[in-house]
Amino acid sequence: MKDKLIIGGFCFILGFFFLYSLIDSDTLVSFSERRTMATLPKLEVSSIPTGKYFEKMNEYLTDQFPFRNQLRRSKALFVNSVYQKNISHDAYRIGNEIYQLEPTVNEKSVTYFTNKLNEVADTHFKNKKVFYAIIPDKNYYVEVSSFPKMDYPFLYQTVREGLNKNFEEIDLRPTLNLDSYYRTDLHWRQEQLEEVVSLLQNKLQLEKTSFPRKQESYFPFYGAYYSKSSGSVTADTIQYLFSGTIENTEVYNYEKKRMESVYEKENLKNIDSYDIFLSGATPILILNNEESSSDRELILFRDSFSSSLAPLLLDNYQKITMIDLRYFSSKMLSEVEEIDFSKTNQDILFLYSVPIINQSFTLK
């Protein structure tokens, strides 16, 4: 009798999941995993002998398994609560927050980074003062003894010693804390950057401006680390700030050859909602503030962190040119008609986060 109950229960479970999978519609995009999901593969005779059809079918069945997200979340909660395991998928969980583990300084990458900045500065700004600032990752601010942290003093010192003497450092570390970052993502929160903006204005000798207070919010924001928690933490809320200057600024997207707004709200529906800030990863952007009373310009070499920072500096500049060397070669900058490095009213700022510096081989 016991065996019959076990067999019957097993058959019931198989039958239930099979019938549920027939009724339930397929998930095309998983925002919690930040990726597109596998779709039902087309049956082709040529793909059967090679096994490709069965590989694709296996991916499809795995991605579209009933209650996939709930099962992943239950497993993560069990592992974290019962086994007290904080590390999973190279990520570290502290309460409702997720951190990407990167405890080792990649010296070759740091050297490549400083060489690249020296190369760009020597080519285009030989007789100009150049500023640089390192954006610490949020791991820097974790005060947990068991948390594996990299040797930040060594990284900062290596960068400082590797750059030419015409580089002046702006130390952002005192202006930030853990609350400055999203819980499920690596980026800083725009609404927490008032002290960062104030410091940059001071170092670049800019006029102090009012920090924007008008804001809009979007929930849920599934950050880059959310998938590493298997959905067992609460999603973030994105807040993006407005001012008259931000709303009236036009943004020229060099890659798309078109004008855009500082915030394109449809990007909130992207897999990465952080794309709300200046449309995400883009090689070259030119922000034009036609209402500026100043004729100053900012040349900003940057990564994704600057997408949320640059709008907050618009009151200080007539024009901000943002260049992402991950997507555009530094050797081709002189060929871009929209960029002119010869002006005397330009501030030059290299602004890069620790994760990029420690993996800088993507810079071209």
For 226-245, how does the pLDDT look when each residue is reduced to its tens digit (9 = 90+)?
A: 877 655 688 999 999 999 99
Whether pTM > 0.85 for this model: the answer is: no
The mean predicted confidence, pLDDT, of the chain is 83
Among 33-42, 120-129, 348-357, name the one with the lowest average pLDDT: 33-42
112 or 233, greater pLDDT? 112
Residue 335's pLDDT is what? 85
> Which pairing describes strands 346-353 and 319-323: parallel, antiparallel, or unpaired?
unpaired
What is the band of 85 on the pLDDT scale with cuts at 50, 70, 90? very low
For residue 259, the cross-strand partners are 252
305-320 tens-digit pLDDT = 999 999 999 999 999 9
The percent of residues above 90 in pLDDT, for the chain, comes to: 54
Residue 89's pLDDT is what? 56
For residue 320, the cross-strand partners are 287, 298
Percentages (nearest 5) of helix, strand, coil residues in the chain = 40, 20, 40
Convert 215-251 to b/e letters by CB count within 10 Å (16 or more is b): eeeeeebbbbbbbbbbbbbebbebbbbebebbeebeb
Residue 195's pLDDT is what? 97
